[in-house]
Amino acid sequence: MAGAVIQRLLSSLLVIAGASFLVFFILYLLPGDPVLMMLAGTTFTPEAAANLRHQLGLDQSALQQFLRFAGGLLQGDFGKSLVSDDPVLPKILSQFPATAALTLAGTLIAVVFGIWLGVLSAVHRGGIIDLAARLVSLLGISMPTFWSGILLILIFSVQLNWFPALGSDGWRTLVLPAAALGLVGSGFIVRMVRNSMLEVMNEPFITTLRAKGLPERLVMYRHALRSALIPALTIIGIQIGELLAGAVVIETVFSRQGIGRLLAGAITAKDLPVVQGVIFFTAMVYVAVNLLVDLSYTLIDPRVRRTQ
């Protein structure tokens, strides 16, 4: 068990190192000069631009800039904003609670709704409930996040006036953006849980449990569902990362606070340190979530513990 945990921690560190490399060089290769963006609208001389470029270290080679960037990350220094000159990490940490709340609420809706519909679909295979669940799953997979958000605003805010459409003040402003994320995220979970349940329902141990006279509800929801959750957990871990990325769009649609709006503003202003910091921070959260999902396998399935 301890060896498996150490192995996964080391592989997670490699992923984070690879993410830092990709984040830096993808943004480095983008066209445009950050210094000229900073000085736009002001009167400046080429010498002043060159001095500013030297102060920011942008006149160094790509390798030197990457080593400086990676060294700063190791010390918890994400750099300073080119626009406000404020440290990047505190800006991200101040916005992250709002994004975390939105992602967790969206994940909760996606997991509960997805598992519930997936189990119903498998138990009632071939019936009307199965057809309806698969249609909902297909709709969730096909629906762009921004489209679901706008649709929910039109129905529940503009027409019914049940929830506010914009802002991030109070739980009522969280309902519609979380529902928009959750509905999209539940599509894959419904499909995975349904397929896993159908496979597990044909396993010999399910036949044995039925032969012993256990109630069908107990067989399905205690034994079959527990085994079916192993592959579903993988999808749920991936979906959390997808929902975290989708929060960038949703926060813009609903004018909510969060690292999504911070990232959108930084992209518009070509504030590269903030863009790099937000993407790298998101990658670390994504890796941490998937590490926890991997470790949770051992708690759910005793066969995984015995294998390790």
- Considering the domain architecture, whether residues 142 and 251 belong to the same structural domain is answered as yes
**Residues 233-246 pLDDT 10s:** 777 777 777 777 77
Average pLDDT, the chain: 78
- Considering the domain architecture, whether residues 113 and 173 belong to the same structural domain is answered as yes
- Considering the domain architecture, whether residues 176 and 228 belong to the same structural domain is answered as yes
Q: Tokens standing for 62?
A: 């790509």
Q: Tokens standing for 247?
A: 């929060």
Instruction: Provide the pLDDT for residue 32.
Output: 67
Question: Residue 145: which residues within 8 A CB-CB, separation 6 or more?
Answer: 180, 181, 184, 246, 249, 250
Q: Is residue 173 part of a domain?
A: yes
Question: Could you count the other beta carbons within 10 Å of the beta carbon of residue 137?
Answer: 23
Check which CATH number belongs to the domain holding 135 and give it.
Answer: 1.10.3720.10
C-alpha 136/C-alpha 233 separation (Å) is: 20
> What pTM was computed for the model?
0.73
**Residues 98-130 pLDDT 10s:** 888 888 888 888 888 888 888 888 888 878 888
Instruction: Provide the pLDDT for residue 306.
Output: 59
Q: Is residue 245 part of a domain?
A: yes
Average pLDDT over residues 174-190: 83
DSSP strand E in the chain: where? Answer: none
- Considering the domain architecture, whether residues 49 and 97 belong to the same structural domain is answered as no
3-state helix vs strand vs coil in the chain, percent to 5: 80, 0, 20
Instruction: Provide the pLDDT for residue 305.
Output: 58
C-alpha 19/C-alpha 26 separation (Å) is: 10
- Closest among 101, 106, 104 to 170, alpha carbons compared: 101
Q: Which of 81, 113, 143 is the last residue in one of the domains?
A: 81
Question: Residue 76: which residues within 8 A CB-CB, separation 6 or more?
Answer: 89
Query: 87 has which bridge partners?
Result: 80
**Residues 127-171 pLDDT 10s:** 888 888 888 888 877 777 778 888 888 888 888 888 887 877 777
Residues, the chain, total?
A: 308
- Considering the domain architecture, whether residues 97 and 63 belong to the same structural domain is answered as no
Reported confidence tier of residue 4, pLDDT bands at 50, 70, 90? low
**Residues 8-22 pLDDT 10s:** 777 777 877 787 777
- Considering the domain architecture, whether residues 62 and 140 belong to the same structural domain is answered as no
**Residues 25-38 pLDDT 10s:** 777 776 666 677 66
- Considering the domain architecture, whether residues 19 and 109 belong to the same structural domain is answered as no
- Considering the domain architecture, whether residues 66 and 164 belong to the same structural domain is answered as no
- Range of the structural domain that residue 42 is part of: 1-81
Q: Is residue 241 part of a domain?
A: yes
Burial of 2 (C-beta count, 10 Å sphere; 0-12/13-18/19+)? exposed
- Considering the domain architecture, whether residues 99 and 37 belong to the same structural domain is answered as no
- Considering the domain architecture, whether residues 152 and 109 belong to the same structural domain is answered as yes
- Considering the domain architecture, whether residues 124 and 201 belong to the same structural domain is answered as yes
Q: Is residue 293 part of a domain?
A: no
- Considering the domain architecture, whether residues 46 and 190 belong to the same structural domain is answered as no
Instruction: Provide the pLDDT for residue 126.
Output: 79
pLDDT at 308 over 60: no
Q: How many domains does the chain have?
A: 2
